[in-house]
Chain A
Amino acid sequence: MMENQADAMPVVEATDGPVRQRVVNAELVEPSPRGGLLEVFQQSYVLRLIVSRQLAQQYAASLLGLLWSYVQPATRFAVYYVVFGFVLDLHKGTPYFAIHLFTGIVVVHYFGETWNGGTRSIWQNKGLVKKMRMPREIFPVAAMLVAAYHTMPQVLLLVVVALITGWNLTWTAVAAGVLGVLILIVFAMTLGLFFSAVNVFYRDFQNIVQTVLQFMHFLVPMMYSFERIWAAHETHPVIYNIYVSNPVAQAVLLLQRFFWYPLIEDTEGLGRQFPPDLFERGLVTLAVSLVLLWLAQKFFTRVEGKFAERL
């Protein structure tokens, strides 16, 4: 009778012979991941697999493939260049307006992709998150690396154009570039990490992020000159301070100081292109961003235990 049961669980008896003693060279530890972001980088092989998978997947079943990540910034650049440069005449008084603009587009693109991709990342990988033990920070970090991969050729393009145009790099410019990149990465990662966690609980956040990103292009000095913002610093000090406190705006300014400003031969007639306290502000922002990243990590660790049950 039993043998007729097709779906019955077959019984396989243990074979004879000695049972081997297995010696495990490891400590008795808690199995749930505790290392946070650090553990992500210790598991660089898993991270690499996830990043390359993400890249392959993003453009699966598309004819242009990876080219799409250049079409978007390119069209945005063209539209802004024509509308703001020619129609609204904002390129007057801004030499090398194209580079001024494109630097901003690259920064905002990277920021947006890291934040947006990070926010969705845990939800998108719920199959793994629910069943496998791994540091979950790996998903927002992977989103950040994917964004970097997409942005890298645009940065190279900027470098090439700058070299052709005549790039008078100074140490100040290099310092600005390094500071700008650090602020950008730390701040974008902070938001990606924090929002990836809250998005598990309320999916509204991925829409909120997209809404905020829509006007990010207008909150940084790229299609208009910083001069116009500076003009308001005495009459509207609060608005001015809010504007320059934005880490993304600071990253844009610092990278313009790196890519764009050294191209200009005659800086005499130029109005104020950067806040006077560009570097001091930048260092403070970097410090604040690092503290925020630490807080985001603490928050992530606190709610991570609920991911598996809520996804």
Chain B
Amino acid sequence: MAVSIEVERVTKQFTMQYHPTLKQMAVAAVRRLPLHEHFQAVSDVSFTVEQGESVGLMGLNGSGKSTLLKVINGVMPPDSGTVRTRGRIAGLIATGAGFQPQMTGRENLFLNAAIMGMSAAQTRAKLDQIVEFADLGKFLETPVSHYSSGMYARLGFSIAIHVDADIFLADEVLAVGDRPFKKKCMAKMQEIRKEGTTIFYVSHATASVRSMCDRVLVLESGHLTYDSKVVDGGSVDGGIAHLQYDDADTEAKATDEELGADV
């Protein structure tokens, strides 16, 4: 099998700027306060994903999941280490697509598909499928700034899943969708999974990770602490257990299985 994603010792650090204006900078200099503070979002993460693997990425809020996906997607380069990917990447990062609010749904659709590598003809061929799946009806010609958050998410997901990507990234995309749409999306993801697409699925909902993924990666404050493929006797369940969303209340856990929603 061919390597689909290769992540090698990737580190990504953010600079938090505390003193944005000149005046504040001067004050900080006089008082000898630090101007910047750094925050390690992803630290020394390495793993390799084969084509066709379906990987669940789990971790608490702020553990670096979205950052890692942005690095894989190519939106930001890593500060150190290398990422290499094979083929077309589509997906949704940090709950939602990159849309231009003033543009209509149709314009955004064509632009998004083009950025992901679809030609005009290819997009037109899939147009009906995309619109139907997103269930936008007459809102296709409306600027997306007027969309409800659900419509926004539906269109974004529908474009990403229809561009025939080799790698599909789903980052908590379905948080705002209603239950029927979520179900439709999960079914569609199972479909592309069967077609051999590499899937990266970020979710807090353990049951849905269990059904969607054959491998689990767990991030804890930027570090990769569990990789079910590398750990001895690792499994998706093992990863979920490792993560321990916790308070060990069994009843609460039972709901969490599904609930976790996609926050």
Contacts and interface: CB of A to CB of B under 8 A. Distances in A.
A133 B211 contact: no
A22 B197 contact: yes
B261 A9 contact: yes
Interface residues of B, number: 72
A206 to B, nearest CB: 16
A22 B98 CA distance: 27
A49 B111 contact: yes
Contact of B258 (A9, A45, A49): A9
A31 interface: yes
Interface in A77-116: none
A25 to B, nearest CB: 8
Contacts of A53: 100, 103, 107, 111
Given A7-B179, A31-B73, A131-B98, A22 B89 contact: no
B174 interface: yes
Interface SS of chain B: helix, strand, loop or mixed? mixed
Interface string A7-28: 1111111110101111110111
Interface in A35-76: 43, 45-46, 49-50, 53, 57, 60
Interface in B1-41: 1-4, 6, 14-15
A201 B86 CA distance: 32
Given A8-B205, A9-B258, A53-B100, A21 B196 contact: yes
B255 interface: yes
Interface string B94-125: 10111111110001001110111001100000
B243 interface: no
Contacts of B120: 45
Interface string B179-198: 10011001101100111110
A130 B183 contact: no
B114 A305 contact: no
Given A32-B77, A132-B112, A1 B254 contact: yes
Contacts of A32: 74-77, 83
Nearest to B171: A131
A43 B113 CA distance: 13
A50 to B, nearest CB: 7
B96 A14 contact: no
Contacts of B254: 1-2
Given A49-B111, A53-B100, A11 B208 contact: yes
Contacts of A50: 111
B207 interface: yes
Considering the complex of A and B, which 4 residue pairs feature the smallest CB-CB distances, nearest first? A22-B196, A31-B74, A131-B98, A9-B205
Interface of B: 1-4, 6, 14-15, 51-52, 70, 72-77, 82-89, 93-94, 96-103, 107, 110-112, 114-116, 119-120, 166, 174, 179, 182-183, 186-187, 189-190, 193-197, 203, 205, 207-208, 210-212, 254-255, 257-262
Interface of A: 1-2, 5-15, 17, 19-24, 26-33, 43, 45-46, 49-50, 53, 57, 60, 125, 127-134, 305-309
